[in-house]
Structure 1
């Protein structure tokens, strides 16, 4: 087992407790684990922050506080100026032991936040750091009273915070804020990724997130989660499996995928164009767009490499009927929805046996029952509002995406700041994103990119038959989600968070991938 596989695993609080119990039952002492974890955190600290930084250590009553105390001890022994804030009268025995030893070393111990803040010199926040060890994973009660007030004051202090495992006050599974929570600049997640690290609710509190691996045996992980684990973090290695980076030297445009996009209306011309640009960037062999006749010439001018078919349209400029000579099943994949407006011919699209991607108005005109009865593979890409309309009885979020995938048989791509992809009983969570993607049209680019990769995957599967079609399409979907996020990050780095308009996003797709592969 490669240690890189650890990067894929996401756990709930209960699952992490089970895995740690297996360690302890096998004879690995709790005290030894605390020393090992704290040693890894100390190593991380020594590599990043020099001894000129004053360190304030926030200590809770549990083993998260014990971890913090061991780190405090080691930093003190390495010459850092360390002060401890420990407001709790009682703590777990091991934590109490470490606290007693820290006192014996002469490390200052403060009972109030004001005392610690004064010792750090709040006026010079750049020369101070806080290590948050108040509460770790498994917290399920809101922070209230004095500790809640203190957390708010810590957040107001502007002193950078490094949180152990999770910022204090964050629910391990949902990422919800329990009353109030530390706003960390860095979170050092211990052992395995906690689900909160990939939940939208927790993002404003996590800062930069890093995994501190402490060598959990893979057998223990499999014993609790199964093989493969049902919930996984989408890594670049996994995502790249879905990108057709190797081609036959005798490939031609009809062997590397034919994609049909049905999109656009007189009001939403841009949606069709952006989907087309995303598809072209995917490398698919042939892109065919069906758009209202009145915008056909405009689309041809912007996408000269695509075949553009004009369709009869309504008075409002939407597609009234699909072209009579259009054979949906001849394409390797079909993408339908961006900018369509309301149409009544969607059952005709649902009847195709080709892999079908539905987005935007392609979702607004159907029901969950229709998805279940589809003859081919279906991919849906709803944002939370569209998801609620399609699945009013589901809760949304990660569990809702899984429920929708199981109820319909579709691959569900739930969009948001952290995209979740549900396939059957399995869930992939993409850790990479940027608020630069919070622009109208970003999703249209994703539709085209994903459709293009699906068409290429289906074409390869049809010619080689090396894996089931569902597996090939799933790989393409995961690859598209990751690639789309990388393009957003690439554009963000070069043009700021404000500069990644959807056309720029499409233009960034290929250089972003090339940059990643070169690096």
Structure 2
């Protein structure tokens, strides 16, 4: 449930349009058939889609960093179906524009449209190879062999060619889907062509953004060919579809806006329950993320030895352990009680807590807490350690909204019944079951709300996947949620926005030459982003 006032409720973010929807190949086929039934000739759609790919290919080939001038050869691999027809149009356009192009199609029969395009290529004088191209000869290959809806392994000779090309480091760009990849689930069907770039036609295929597909897909970009809204309605109205989001979507994402006269408490009050003697840095990093969020008042409860580390770096973070009675004793922390939580807008539980005992007397006020509860790391592990079914029941019984930020192993421990499917499916199933919002971390993080809304990030920062980065994200998301709750603007799309901001910060650092940015660097970049947003 969202917590925006009725007069301040945002429009759906992002729009469920062709630029954002993630569809299964079967749903893409429904859209295409609707366009044909609506009067679009198949030949016209092929030409329209392939011309859009051709324009993008020529743009990329003309850039200095692409490394492909007109003197360097391009080989287009053409399949028997309409994906092959798309490739033939690309070959034609490159040939006419002056590139050295050859084609190869190891099939005796082709669909009529594809056969027509191949015949025209022959009349234009485009050479057609009789034998398979040899990988590693300075050529760019354009893979237009099979495309949408693949479900069978590549035939033996093509499978062998795919393996040879991978070993040789052959540069390949794929039209719609790399050959040998199941674009429904993102699983290679055996040997698979590994593309450095994939031009996804019309709508994003959700299999292409799953972790198992990334090595085959390379850099993914959508090529628009004008899918009409009435055709999209046929799949939008079936079930809630996930939306793919990129850092460019940050500009329109939900963002809490405290009143200009808001004091520190009006900008969000956040309590962190984090850190331990074994993981003192987790408390520091969670505090760094929370500080970067712009939350007005941050407090933390932690072991006395850990408290000094946080106060050294963040002297403005209040040590709320002073509010406990009896006071904390030196040594490992035993969570017997919590302070009055009603003074906070959000609570983050979990980063680096290790195995500190957490008694029922501490869980009860968290369940009664009307504010936002964010569970991460050991907070999730504590909950997962309860008897089967009790964790989900506890979450459903929470008085206030709950966000969780697990990685896959933490997720599987907490939701064993939701261990199948891709990231959006799993996150959505858990969100529905527990009545919460789930951020399932991974190479392409997914976020799902209990009402069916779902987002998947189309970008990642793999070299920034380091211990402690998740603590920064948890603190940042909790701080942003505290600010939103304080101003009556809590919207679960803000958790997806927090994930986008986190990825954007890491990607900026990588682009600037920091190959493996550290968690404190990511936190500092988030802080700068937040200041720029408010400025």
- Structure 1 length-normalised TM: 0.90
Q: CA deviation at 1:282?
A: 0.4
1:408 to 1:239, Cα distance in 2 relative to 1, 3 A: farther
Give the unaligned 5+ runs of structure 2.
1-11, 62-68, 384-390
Query: What corresponds to 2:491 in structure 1?
Result: 473
1:6–1:229 Cα change, 3 Å: farther
Instruction: Give the match for residue 510 of structure 2.
Output: 492
Is the Cα–Cα contact under 8 Å of residues 448 and 455 in structure 2 kept in the other structure? yes
Q: Is this contact kept in 2: 1:435–1:497, CA < 8 A?
A: no
Alpha-carbon offset, residue 268 of structure 1 = 0.9
The 3 A distance-change label for structure 1 pair 421 and 253 is: same
Deviation at 1:248, TM superposition (A): 2.8
- Give the match's secondary structure for 1:393: helix
The equivalent of 1:322 in structure 2 is: 337
- 1:201-220 CA deviation, whole Å, 9 max, x = no partner? 11112222111100010121
1:57 is matched with 76
**Shift of residue 3 of structure 1?**
9.7
Deviation of residue 374 (structure 1)?
1.4
Post-superposition Cα deviations, 1:345-366, rounded to whole Å, max 9, x if no partner, equal 3523233121110000100111
Q: Secondary structure at the match of 2:410?
A: helix
Give yes or no for the alignment of 1:408 onto 2:424.
no
Structure 1 residue 23, shift from structure 2 partner = 0.2
Task: Give the length in aligned residue pairs.
Answer: 498
Superimposed CA distance per residue, residues 303-338 of structure 1 (whole angstroms, 9 cap, x where no aligned partner): 111111236668862343335xx1112211111100
Greater mean deviation of Cα atoms: 480-489 or 307-316: 307-316
1:191-230 Cα deviation digits (max 9, x unpaired): 0111023211111122221111000101211222139952
> Which region of structure 1 is more displaced relative to structure 2, 273-282 or 134-143?
134-143
Alpha-carbon spacing, 1:227–1:235, altered in 2? closer, same or farther (3 Å): farther
The answer to whether the aligner puts 1:142 opposite 2:168 as a matched pair is no
Give the drift of 1:485. 0.5
Q: Is 2:418 the counterpart of 1:394?
A: yes
Deviation at residue 183 of structure 1 after TM alignment: 1.0
1:285 deviates by 0.6
Give secondary structure in 1 for the equivalent of 2:134.
Answer: helix
| Counterpart among 76, 82, 100 of residue 81 in structure 1 | 100
Question: Where do residues 314-353 of structure 1 align in structure 2 (5 Å cutoff)?
Answer: 317-323=332-338, 326-342=339-355, 343-345=357-359, 346-348=362-364, 349-353=366-370
Pairing partner for 1:44 from 39, 48, 56: 56
- 2:394 corresponds to: 370
**Structure 1: runs of 5 or more not aligned:** 462-466
User: What do the CA deviations read for 1:219-246 (whole angstroms, capped 9, x no partner)?
Assistant: 2112221399521012446544556474
Q: Structure 1: how far apart are the matches of 2:57 and 2:140?
A: 11
1:28 to 40, 61, 68: 40
Q: Hey, what does 1:164 align to over in structure 2?
A: 175
Q: C-alpha displacement at 1:399, in angstroms? A: 1.4
State the secondary structure of the residue aligned to 2:142: strand
Contact 1:394 1:400 in 2 (8 A): yes
Per the alignment, do residues 511 and 205 of structure 1 end up closer, same or farther by CA in structure 2, a change over 3 Å counting? Answer: farther
Q: Is the 8 A contact 1:267 1:317 kept in 2?
A: no
Task: Establish whether residue 290 from structure 1 lines up as the match of residue 334 from structure 2.
Answer: no
Q: Could you tell me the TM-score, scaled by structure 2's length?
A: 0.88
Contact 1:69 1:102 in 2 (8 A): yes
Q: CA RMSD in A?
A: 2.4
Select which of 14, 20, 28 maps to 2:26: 14
CA distance in 2, matches of 1:178, 1:412: 30
What SS is found at the alignment partner of 2:74? strand
Identify the residue that residue 464 of structure 1 maps to in structure 2.
Answer: none
Q: CA deviation at 1:507?
A: 1.1
